[in-house]
Amino acid sequence: MKSIAVILSGCGVFDGSEIHESVLTMLALSQNNAEVHYFSPNDLQPTVINHITGEEKSEKRNMMEESSRISRGKISPLSEAKAENFDAVIIPGGFGAAKNLCNFATEGSHCEINKDLLRFVQAIHQQNKPLGLMCIAPVMLPKMLNSPVKLTIGNDAETARAIEKMGGVHIDCPVDDIVVDEKYRVVTTPAYMLAQSIAQAQVGIEKLVKKVLEMA
C-alpha cells in the first residue's frame, strides 16, 4: 500500500483548498487502495472570503482547522511532515495554494513558498518520489524544485508567462488530461482552472492520481 501525503490549505476555493478537487483526490486515492495522510500549515489565513458574495471578511481562520473540515479531523501540521514516511505528495488547488502555501496571488513570479512546504517537497524530490499538483498549485513548482520543470495550469496566458519567468516550462493542456515530467517526476492537471463541472474536473484528477501512484 502506497502512503501519500495530501497538502491542504484551508477549506474553500477562494481562500483555501478547492473542496471538489480535494475530495476527488481523496476518492481516487481510496479507490486505488492508497493510505492517505493530511497536512496543512498551522497558521492563520491571510484572507477569509465570503463564498457567497466573494467579499473579504475581517475574521481570523486557521488553515489547519479549516482543512480539517475536509479531512474529517485527521490532519497534522505541515511542519511535522517527514519525506521518508511517504511515497508521494499531492497538492489540490484553490486560491489557498496561491495565497496560503505561497504568495503568488499577490507577488506573482516574485512569490515565496511556505517554508515548511518548501522543506518537505524538496526532501520528497531529493528522494526521487513523485509530486502531483492541480489547478493553480503547479505555479509553485519552479520555485520549489529550482528547475525547468514541465507543468500545466491549463491555458491561461498570463499565469503561463509568470511560470516561464520563474524558470518553469508551461504546456497547454485540456481539462481532461495531465502533463507528466518524467525527469523531475511531476504530474499536473488543470482541474478547475478549466473545468466547468465537477465531472470534468474528475477526469484529469483521476488520471493524475493513477499516474502518481504508478510512478511511486
Enumerate the active-site residues: 135
Cell of 104: 503568488
Helices (H), 89-197: 95-99, 104-107, 115-126, 141-145, 157-165
Short-list 143, 208, 136, 149, CA closest to 178: 208
Amino acid sitting at position 128:
N
Cell of 177: 488530461
Please answer whether residues 4 and 27 qualify as being in contact, where contact means their C-beta atoms are separated by less than 8 angstroms. no
Residue 184, judged by CB atoms within 10 A of its CB (0-12, 13-18, 19+), counts as: middle
Q: Which DSSP state fits 90? A: E
Residue 5, judged by CB atoms within 10 A of its CB (0-12, 13-18, 19+), counts as: buried
- Main-chain dihedrals φ then ψ at residue 92, nearest 5 degrees: -65, 165
